[in-house]
Structure 1
């Protein structure tokens, strides 16, 4: 029984380590460019709300946004946390209806 717990812990750590190495850094300039692209933002919002398909960025946002909304994202780098908060703040200001849906869906 103890051995299976150790193996499980090793697998979890390996998956977490793999996730850490597979995420490319996004520059603040690239984020600003993305936020100014309304079609891009609407695609990501539809993904996050389960109303449309997800690209890799949408999948990542969909995974991390609930954690950031709850105030804890242990697997996020400080840069990612800052950028996700910036993105969520942008959505809150510019897409209030979708923001309300996101809060209902993820913060509860």
Structure 2
């Protein structure tokens, strides 16, 4: 049971990170790579991050980036992201750590929403 819960928790973390990385990229199927500098800028923009988190939680409207987030989330939860490059994977891990540290309440809601 613990292993299954841990696996679901890992998938949820991966989904959120992917969503944040997607949020800083162009909302197109062929998107240019996101630089580490652009990711830093996006992570420091509290209004932007909160807007994307509210979208992911269904607590607010979604912009095109938020809509893309919701499209990618099911793929990530299944453990497959064919669109993700190695750079995006690295950025996803970094974003995950940031959201867990800086937005713990929203993170807990996301875990509850997607794990339940």
Q: Normalised by the size of structure 1, how large is the TM-score?
A: 0.65
Query: How many residues are aligned here?
Result: 90
Over aligned residues, Cα RMSD in angstroms?
2.5
Alignment correspondent of 1:34: 42
* Offset, 1:103: 1.4
> Which has the greater radius of gyration?
1
Structure 1: runs of 5+ lacking an equivalent:
1-18
| In structure 2, C-alpha distance between the alignment counterparts of 1:80 and 1:63, rounded to whole Å | 16
Match of 1:47 among 44, 49, 55: 55
Identify if the C-alpha distance between structure 1 residues 20 and 46 changes in structure 2 by more than 3 Å, giving closer, same or farther.
closer
* Offset, 1:38: 0.8
Identify if the C-alpha distance between structure 1 residues 54 and 33 changes in structure 2 by more than 3 Å, giving closer, same or farther.
same
Match of 1:87 among 86, 89, 95: 95
Q: Deviations over 1:28-63 (max 9, x none)?
A: 100100100111111011111111122232233333
| In structure 2, C-alpha distance between the alignment counterparts of 1:49 and 1:23, rounded to whole Å | 24
Structure 2: runs of 5+ lacking an equivalent:
1-26
Alignment correspondent of 1:102: 110
Highest relative contact order (Cα 8 Å, sep 6+), 1 or 2? 2
Match of 2:33 among 21, 25, 28: 25
